Amino acid sequence: MSQTKEAFAKATALDTEIAVSTRNICKNYGAVEALKNLSLDFPRGQLTSLLGPSGCGKTTLLKIIAGLLEPTSGEVEVNGRLVTGPGPNRAFVFQDFALLPWASVMRNVAFGLELRGVAKSEREAIAERYIREVGLAGFEKSFPHELSGGMRQRVGLARALSVDAKVLLLDEPFSAVDEQTRRKFQEDMLNLVAHENKTFIFVTHSIEEAVFISDQIAILLPRPSRVSEIIRPTGFRNRDMGNIRRDPEYLDIVDQIWASLRSYVE
Amino acid sequence: MLSRPTLLKILSTLIVFGAWEIAGRIPVSYAFPTFIESMQALARMTFDGTLFTAYGETLKPLVIGILISTVLGISIGLAIGLSGWFDWLMSPIFIVMQAAPLAALIPLLVMAYGIGLTSKVFVVCIMAMPVIVLNTSSAVRNTPSSLKEMGRSFLGSDLEIITKIIIPSASPIIFSGLRLGVSAGFIGAILSELKITPTGVGDIITYSRSIADYPSMYAAIFSIILLAVLFLNLLETIENILFEGNNRGYVSD
């Protein structure tokens, strides 16, 4: 039974079309090669993690996909279109939240829409829906300094969701929140991937986090950064969330990734 | 019942004025009047209109100079903070301007612009502008880069990023520069009236000193300090209205 399911999941994972693809990306900072000849595909509607030791260029790659950084050579395609800068099809969630400290939760969540020129009443209606969706109803008038770290990142997430981009780029979004909040976030992420028809690209340095939430894990190795392995956890993806961390496949993948990364961690 | 901060303010005012009164009564110097004498002189000058005509003179270079310094200073500061090229071009001028001893420059200004309003406006600007420019530029330069990236990634135009992210984020430091600039401008206005031509409040100070009418002299000095304090409070109110969120996060009465 579990084997058929596994085979089926594998097949769907590979059949889905590609939402984002990077081809031969190189990025040099002066003489330092941050990324070298990196090619990677991100399937539509799934969550792909970029995992690797610090300094392996995961965030650089994410910012190139976002259009915030320009690659030295190579190209990024989102839905078949070449990326030349930030675009409406991508939204970014920042590691340090990047909230406006002088603006209320409502204005912060609606800020992406505000920059796109959406009228005030309309953007506040949309923002209100997403504030509710991330579980911050009642905090619309609060200011970022009145919220906990986890709640601040929910604001950042709501802002990214409200612009309705098809691709969500998350740069270590949960690294600045505490362990318990992080676990809750990870479960919420799984629900989000299941219910929103979006492609998620997720940078993390936590092996457990990557295996827990990803449909596809790209392991990057540093100096210069390259994709060393792509892992697609399949067996436990459709099971109950509470049992994932006990699943033998989950534990095996965590061990396997650690085995291949440990020599790169000083 | 008055709140605690208000009570403390009243108490500290009373202590200062009380000390002044006692020092005047000892007296520490023949040239040092008591608080009450000075206030009497202040009331007299207010009611016979001397003070108003004097401030009519003094406020002209002060207000013009501060307006020029504010508008020009913030614009130049923004340009310096945003562009490395402007930084290279303009920063040294303002650093030199801030370091230069103003009193030594006044003869030069008088030679170039005469003894009229222009020279006095210049003095106010030289005092007020550098600190406004330097504060603005460093605040703009220190805008958190993730906020700017956020603006770009959500498709803000350059203008929107400046007006909706960089300026509000820099505003607390811009305003603290304005406060310093305005108080320096007051110094400049009085200095120009003492050093260039005695007009307005500077004239009251110089004249009453020369006829040994010390209460009037101290009353004039007291009034200009009072005006400066009121002006700074007004500035704070303007800041709170313009950038509502700035007074959040720290304790204030």
Q: Which of B146, B152, B157 sits opposite A96 (nearest CB)?
A: B146
Q: Would you call A112 an interface residue with chain B, using a CB distance cutoff of 8 Å?
A: yes
What is the CATH classification number for the domain harbouring B121? 1.10.3720.10
Q: Would you call A87 an interface residue with chain B, using a CB distance cutoff of 8 Å?
A: yes
Confirm whether B244 is domain-assigned: no
Q: Would you call B153 an interface residue with chain A, using a CB distance cutoff of 8 Å?
A: yes
Strand pairing partners for A219?
A: A51, A229
Q: Say how many Å lie between the first and final Cα of chain A, rounded.
A: 42
Residue of chain A whose Cα is closest to the Cα of B250: A145
pLDDT reported for residue B128: 92
| Residue B94: closest CA among B104, B108, B114, B80 | B80
Is the backbone peptide bond immediately before A173 cis, with ω within 30 degrees of 0? no
> Would you call A98 and B249 a contact, using CB atoms and an 8 Å cutoff?
no
Domains, chain A, in order of start with CATH, read: 1-47+60-90+190-233+260-266 (3.40.50.300), 93-164 (no CATH)
> Looking up tokens 């500061």, which residue turns up?
B77
Apex CA B152: angle with CA B135 and CA B142, to 5°?
20
B248 has a pLDDT exceeding 80: no
Q: What is the pLDDT along chain A (266 residues), one digit of tens a residue?
A: 444 444 444 444 455 688 888 888 888 888 888 888 888 888 888 899 998 887 778 888 899 999 898 888 888 888 888 888 888 889 999 988 899 988 889 999 999 999 988 888 999 999 999 999 888 888 988 888 888 888 898 999 999 999 988 899 999 888 888 888 888 888 888 888 888 888 999 998 888 888 888 888 888 887 777 787 888 887 777 777 777 877 888 888 888 888 888 877 76
Is residue A202 classed as helix, strand or coil in its secondary structure?
Answer: strand
Chain A residues whose CB is inside 8 A of the B243 CB are: 102
pLDDT reported for residue B64: 95
> Would you call A102 and B244 a contact, using CB atoms and an 8 Å cutoff?
yes
Segment A142-194, tens digit of pLDDT: 888 888 888 898 999 999 999 988 899 999 888 888 888 888 888 888 888 88
Answer yes or no: are the C-beta atoms of A73 and A98 closer than 8 Å. no
Mean pLDDT of chain B: 88
Range of the domain at B71: 36-239
Confirm whether B177 is domain-assigned: yes
> Would you call B152 and A86 a contact, using CB atoms and an 8 Å cutoff?
yes
Q: Which of A87, A90, A94 sits opposite B146 (nearest CB)?
A: A94
Confirm whether B83 is domain-assigned: yes
Q: Would you call B150 an interface residue with chain A, using a CB distance cutoff of 8 Å?
A: yes
Q: Would you call A217 an interface residue with chain B, using a CB distance cutoff of 8 Å?
A: no
Segment B12-40, tens digit of pLDDT: 999 999 999 999 888 888 888 999 999 99
Q: Tell me, what's the ipTM? A: 0.83
Q: Which of B156, B169, B244 sits opposite A115 (nearest CB)?
A: B156
**CA of B170 to nearest chain A CA: how many angstroms apart?**
11
Q: In the numeric block, which tokens belong to residue A192?
A: 């989000």
Is residue A134 classed as helix, strand or coil in its secondary structure?
Answer: coil
> Would you call A116 and B155 a contact, using CB atoms and an 8 Å cutoff?
yes
For chain B, give the number of residues.
253
Confirm whether B248 is domain-assigned: no
Q: Would you call A66 an interface residue with chain B, using a CB distance cutoff of 8 Å?
A: yes
Chain A residues whose CB is inside 8 A of the B151 CB are: 115
Number of Cβ pairs < 8 A linking chain A and chain B: 66
- At residue A245, what is the residue type? R
Q: Please give the DSSP secondary-structure letter assigned to residue A17.
A: P
Q: In the numeric block, which tokens belong to residue B185?
A: 């401008």
Q: Would you call A135 an interface residue with chain B, using a CB distance cutoff of 8 Å?
A: no
pLDDT reported for residue B137: 94
* Residues B70/B71/B74/B77 CA torsion (nearest 10 deg): -110
Segment B230-243, tens digit of pLDDT: 988 898 888 888 87
pLDDT reported for residue B246: 59
Confirm whether B24 is domain-assigned: no
pLDDT reported for residue B251: 31
Total tally of structural domains belonging to chain B: 1
> Would you call A66 and B243 a contact, using CB atoms and an 8 Å cutoff?
no
Is residue A213 classed as helix, strand or coil in its secondary structure?
Answer: helix
Q: Which of A87, A103, A115 sits opposite B151 (nearest CB)?
A: A115
Strand pairing partners for A169?
A: A92, A201
